[in-house]
Amino acid sequence: MAKLVIFDTETTGLEKEDKIIQVGAIVVELGNPNYIEKYDELCSSQIDIKIEAMSVHGIRDIDIKNKPSYKDTKFKAMLDNLNSSENYLIAHNLDFDLNMLKKEGFENRYKLIDTLQCAKHLYQIGEEINGYKLPNHKLQTFRYMMFNQDEENKEANKYGVEIKAHDAIGDVVILKMFLRKLIFKVKEKFKINDFIEICDKMVELTKEPAEVKFINFGKHNGKTISEIESIDPSWLDWLFKEQQKQKDNNDPKFNRDLYYTLDKILKARSLFK
């Protein structure tokens, strides 16, 4: 049966040279609720941990000094062993974690599910969830909007871990809980009951850009794109050109969802000229 590898990494930083220093994963098997594997490993790195990263995940250089390198982790052995198109690799903001794995020589053959991209399709900014308005699609935002402490503790106790923000295994436990929410959302929205079909739909959503409704930066912060189009279309023209430059230069700041949305607006304009 197909397996879901739900994982997260912590790293020495966010730059080109940075590497993995912690991996966390939960592996489950479709149709077999008794099959669960857990991975929670620190790993050494020849790259010093940047202070900006240290202040987020709390891992110091001394914590990884005598740990095995990534290539010697049990996580890597599992990841390579299950690396086939039958199985699913799942993370929140998957591109970042996948890029870190590629730095270690990983060549992907899994079906890919990015819960961040799926969430952008399934939850709109400003949507009300349990009395809160959704401000962004970050995993920790969904955590505090959707789950109480008793629910978190119950889930964490299954794996004998403690949930802490920006800790690989803690984030994976929250991600597994959030994945369950996404599965029910896909089932409801697309009228799909078969679990494999639901997972494959999430693979599709991962590949598709999502339409951006709100701008959360710059002089139009907080406004809808349709509102900006009516009051300041030239700003959207400028923003599209900036996105085009980033796309052409393979800039990591390029936002494919924003580019997709702006491209639709510009094409719609041309129809009415």
Q: Is the pLDDT of residue 26 over 90?
A: yes
What does residue 36 show for φ and ψ, rounded to 5 degrees? -145, 130
Under 8 Å between Cβ of 155 and 177: yes
Mean pLDDT of 96-104: 96
Helix (H, G, I), strand (E, B) or coil at 205: helix
**Co-location of 222 and 203 in the same domain:** no
In the predicted model, is pLDDT for residue 91 greater than 70? yes
Domain termination site, one of 185, 207, 229: 207
- Asked whether the predicted pLDDT for residue 270 surpasses 90, the reply is no
251 shares a domain with 176? no
pLDDT digits (tens, 9 = 90+) for 124-169: 988 999 999 999 999 999 999 999 999 999 999 988 888 877 788 9
For position 253, what pLDDT does the model report? 83
Number of domains within the chain:
2
The predicted structure's pLDDT at residue 272: 61
What are the tens digits of pLDDT across the range 211-233?
998 888 899 988 999 999 999 99
Same domain, 20 and 68: yes
Same domain, 224 and 184: no
**Spatial contact of 112 and 89, defined as CB atoms under 8 Å apart:** yes
- pLDDT tens digit sequence for 42-62: 999 999 999 999 999 999 999
Residues 191 and 260 in one domain: no
Count of CB atoms situated within 10 Å of the CB of 92: 27
